[in-house]
């Protein structure tokens, strides 16, 4: 254990944030899984232990990924893109359908499933960071730089949006932020946004979940006219938040946990506010804001463009997802299936989030250890990145 602690590097504040989120996650999930345990006919403790195992496994993956030099992820990004696009296609056709959406692929022999969009987020962000950093000399060249970038963004966006619109929109927004940081021209960014808007319009009106998307938007825009069955989730989330008051009802004393669907996942922020009040909700928001602040510091100090873009993309993805989840809970957006990073109960989504944290820590580890930046090592890593 001492050896492991001695080998922990990177921004210590981010490690502290991960520990705090882990503790909040265990307390919140334990409060929210009563109904789920009843439906499954098992004890809440057994579900909690599985969740804790995922947290521990995630921290283990975070430790491993933070020990890997972040420049190795440049070469890995190409392989990830080659794997991700066929997996997204496979998921769209043969994936397990849950809540009318094909987002999951079963992992044979484990009883687990994972959302291919989680892998796609890592793949696209690392690929964009690699491409933008390598094409800086001819970044405005349409054939060599713009077409590969636009193709990657639009293809991944379309494949994810077919069954998971909220994740696709957030990933598209992160991609646009990376394009701006990567000095892509305003005209080219406008073309990418236009292409995304066309794809979005087509999927909303002609995609397999067009009815679901329209119903959610109409319920959000006109809640007074909405069907009570359609607004059930958002209504009870608002009741949970309103009944929390300033200091909340106390841990484990939520009443709306018995009514809210996915209280342990999509709507866990509403349960947190109900039990810990406005103070608890503000504290959680502050933790994510502080995470973004620490990540921005890493981005500004990163000596290489790839590291800066990589840390920026992953941190934007995590924080945008967090605030999107909380915005839905308080009624600032239509209902989505977006979990709260590192807090919501989830299997492989927790693991992929942990890897993202680990990669950010890998970038910060390089900043803290300037002795690593030697000519020989740069050449060695550069050779791998060209594989």
Which pLDDT tens digit goes with each residue over 188-223? 888 888 888 888 888 888 877 777 777 777 777 777
Please list the residues that pair with 105 across neighbouring strands. Answer: 114
Q: What is the pLDDT of residue 382?
A: 44
Q: What is the pLDDT of residue 5?
A: 56
Q: What is the pLDDT of residue 387?
A: 37
Residue whose C-alpha is closest to residue 76's, from 300, 365, 306: 306
Question: What's the mean pLDDT in 169-189?
Answer: 88
Q: What is the pLDDT of residue 99?
A: 61
> Other CB atoms closer than 10 Å to residue 314's CB: what's the count?
25
Least confident of 99-108, 284-293, 354-363: 99-108
Segment 64-110, tens digit of pLDDT: 999 898 889 988 888 888 898 898 888 888 776 666 667 777 766 66
Rounded CA-CA distance 246/283 in Å is 12
Residue whose C-alpha is closest to residue 338's, from 359, 351, 323: 323
Rounded CA-CA distance 158/250 in Å is 43
Per-residue pLDDT band at 374 (split at 50, 70, 90) = very low
Per-residue pLDDT band at 236 (split at 50, 70, 90) = confident
Please list the residues that pair with 114 across neighbouring strands. Answer: 105
Give burial (CB, 10 Å; 0-12/13-18/19+) of 161: buried
């Amino acid at each position: 254990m001492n050896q492991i602690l001695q080998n922990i590097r990177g921004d210590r504040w981010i490690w502290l944030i991960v520990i705090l989120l882990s503790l909040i996650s265990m307390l919140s999930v334990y409060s929210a899984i009563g109904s789920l345990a009843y439906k499954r006919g098992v004890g809440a403790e057994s579900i909690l232990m599985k969740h804790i195992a995922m947290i521990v496994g995630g921290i283990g993956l975070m430790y491993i990924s933070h020990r890997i030099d972040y420049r190795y992820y440049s070469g890995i990004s190409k392989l990830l893109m080659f794997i991700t696009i066929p997996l997204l296609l496979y998921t769209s056709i043969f994936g397990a359908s849950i809540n009318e959406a094909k987002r999951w692929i079963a992992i044979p022999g484990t009883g687990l499933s994972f959302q291919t969009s989680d892998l796609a987020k890592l793949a696209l962000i690392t690929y964009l960071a690699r491409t933008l950093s390598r094409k800086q000399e001819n970044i405005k060249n349409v054939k060599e730089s713009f077409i590969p970038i636009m193709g990657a963004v639009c293809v991944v966006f379309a494949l994810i949006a077919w069954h998971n619109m909220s994740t696709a929109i957030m990933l598209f927004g992160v991609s646009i932020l990376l394009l701006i940081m990567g000095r892509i021209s305003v005209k080219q960014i406008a073309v990418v946004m236009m292409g995304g808007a066309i794809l979005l319009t087509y999927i909303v009106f002609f995609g397999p979940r067009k009815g679901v998307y329209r119903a959610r938007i109409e319920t959000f825009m006109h809640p007074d006219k909405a069907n009570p069955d359609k607004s059930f989730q958002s209504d009870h989330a608002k009741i949970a938040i309103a009944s929390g008051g300033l200091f909340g009802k106390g841990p484990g004393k939520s009443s709306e946990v018995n009514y809210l669907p996915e209280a342990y996942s999509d709507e866990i922020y509403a349960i947190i506010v109900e039990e810990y009040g406005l103070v608890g909700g503000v504290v959680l928001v502050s933790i994510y804001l502080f995470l973004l602040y620490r990540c921005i510091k890493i981005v500004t100090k990163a000596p290489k463009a790839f590291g800066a873009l990589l840390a920026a993309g992953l941190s934007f993805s995590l924080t945008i997802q967090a605030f999107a989840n909380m915005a839905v809970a308080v009624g600032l957006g239509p209902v989505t299936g977006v979990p709260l990073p590192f807090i919501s109960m989830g299997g492989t989504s927790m693991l992929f989030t942990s890897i993202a944290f680990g990669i950010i820590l890998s970038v910060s580890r390089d900043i803290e250890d300037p002795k690593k930046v030697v000519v020989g090592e740069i050449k060695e890593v550069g050779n791998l990145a060209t594989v």
